[in-house]
Structure 1
């Protein structure tokens, strides 16, 4: 139930095509291309298999717009769970406050729990919003609002149908990538994959030399570059969502969260971890510095939600 005094924002307010959403769409093109190639591979044995695979691929992408399919993605793909009674009590008022600050209807989204000790959860798609169990159970109400405003910012980047449809079309490529990563660790298969990767890289160089650089080269290079480019884009998206939370008035509250984590790390005498090229979450210290720069440049940022 909404808190007392809550009123729904005007229809359509808060639906914005943010820069991170446009970047997400651009980053999706190589995934979609490799998904299409994966379906071609599956359909190699016969035309019937190919037609079935294509129909199933498209049907699942369209079916993802149904709430039950989105729930399935949340449970089985994104590994989220529904909040328990205590978590629901903590999330409810904070979520309505964050949505009011953003000018969106909180009932259009569903908040799920991501088991983890990070401040923010990995971004998902559709109307699903993930928040970590650590933030839910540890943070005070105002700081939890700030984290939820950050998570909401990811959902403001793209409309629900677009984000769900694009994500589901990427699933064949993601499944293929997961299978290749698992095979990479096997002694014999991993060795064969490394040999193939070397030949594959030489083939790309040959195509580049004879036909010049074009979009096909970009798509062919994407599996090699993806382990580095995709996490870098994810880190940039996290910082951009921090910026949206700052614009909504939650800059100081979000900075407090990262300050507290840095203080706890210093108390434990632990060295700050280096930023790995394949890490999808920025370091707390990097996010804190970025927020501090924003706050210092806008000292009036201290917006309080209406309740």
Structure 2
């Protein structure tokens, strides 16, 4: 058994690079705000905003995101007694301290698990009904995400993209409002004015957040890196000795029809899928 080295995987670094256009748009927006608020110190607000990136890496933020974004809760005493020894075994195999990671549980009827931030490993209540050895393999996969830096990079990218995404959201909401008012008035003149205002708003949004023009290219590439990250986490689990057990879990999911929706999906949906198919994961684990 080979213990994986703890370093950022290429899929995490590529995701970081793909986020650069959006982050630059966010920087432009923060700079424009700074120009209005602090015209004598244009550098201050952008610098302070970049510094806030350190905040999202704090352990407290991991716990907060686990609750708000994923509806994860602390395990009960019984759940902790079942999960903690499994995580201890996985961390022992990886050569890391289990105290660095916090177990969380999601109330769900679907078998699911996730890595959040830099410290949280979550499983669904349905996943806890897996045989202990299979659940341990699932935990090894999630630890693989932490060891490769996937979750930290995703969190940083999400944080630095927020200003740009917020502007686009405001533009969409405003545009829909203008369109609704134009339709409600109902006159040809009102409709023409509403369309003109929406076009002006869209042009202004592109000027402030030019990254939106790259979305058709960036979105599929980000999805591709996400799929590569999943395959790498499988590889880490296999290197820790959990390959055969992870195969059992994936084969069980195939029998339950997990790949059926993907097979029926169109090309665009498959390109934007964040996870590879179970069949592809099985093939990679088998070395084919």
Normalising by the residue count of structure 2, what TM-score does the alignment of the two structures yield?
A: 0.71
Structure number having the greater helix percentage: 2
Deviation at 1:101, TM superposition (A): 1.4
Alignment pair present for 1:282 and 2:273:
no
| Counterpart contact for 1:42–1:50, Cα < 8 Å | no
Deviation at 1:63, TM superposition (A): 2.7
Q: C-alpha distance in 1, partners of 2:116/2:84?
A: 20
* Pair 1:262–1:170, CA change in 2 (3 A): same
Residue 253 of structure 1: aligned partner: 245
- SS of the aligned residue for 1:265 comes to coil
* Pair 1:193–1:71, CA change in 2 (3 A): farther
Deviation at 1:154, TM superposition (A): 0.8
Alignment pair present for 1:34 and 2:28:
no
- SS of the aligned residue for 1:104 comes to coil
Decide which moves more: 247-256 or 227-236: 227-236
| Counterpart contact for 1:126–1:163, Cα < 8 Å | no
Alignment pair present for 1:239 and 2:231:
yes
Q: C-alpha distance in 1, partners of 2:221/2:37?
A: 35
Residue 131 of structure 2: aligned partner: 140
| Counterpart contact for 1:126–1:161, Cα < 8 Å | yes
* Pair 1:286–1:161, CA change in 2 (3 A): closer
| Counterpart contact for 2:113–2:138, Cα < 8 Å | no
Deviation at 1:124, TM superposition (A): 3.2
- CA shift digits 1:60-109 (9 cap, x unpaired): 32333433233223323454332233332222111111111111111112
Q: C-alpha distance in 1, partners of 2:177/2:284?
A: 41
Residue 126 of structure 1: aligned partner: 118
Deviation at 1:241, TM superposition (A): 1.0
- Structure 1's unaligned 5+ residue stretches are 1-12, 204-216, 298-307
* Pair 1:187–1:24, CA change in 2 (3 A): same
- Structure 2's unaligned 5+ residue stretches are 181-193
2:10 equivalent among 10, 14, 19: 19
- SS of the aligned residue for 2:75 comes to coil
Residue 9 of structure 1: aligned partner: none
Residue 218 of structure 2: aligned partner: 226
Residue 5 of structure 1: aligned partner: none
Deviation at 1:186, TM superposition (A): 7.0
Residue 183 of structure 2: aligned partner: none
* Pair 1:287–1:249, CA change in 2 (3 A): same
* Pair 1:162–1:122, CA change in 2 (3 A): closer
Q: C-alpha distance in 1, partners of 2:175/2:82?
A: 43
Normalising by the residue count of structure 1, what TM-score does the alignment of the two structures yield?
A: 0.68
Deviation at 1:193, TM superposition (A): 10
- CA shift digits 1:166-221 (9 cap, x unpaired): 55334434544665677787793898899579969x99xxxxxxxxxxxxx9x564
* Pair 1:182–1:86, CA change in 2 (3 A): farther
Residue 106 of structure 1: aligned partner: 98
- SS of the aligned residue for 1:148 comes to helix
Pick the structure with greater CA Rg: 2
Q: C-alpha distance in 2, partners of 1:98/1:284?
A: 22
Residue 53 of structure 2: aligned partner: 61
Deviation at 1:253, TM superposition (A): 0.7
- SS of the aligned residue for 2:19 comes to helix
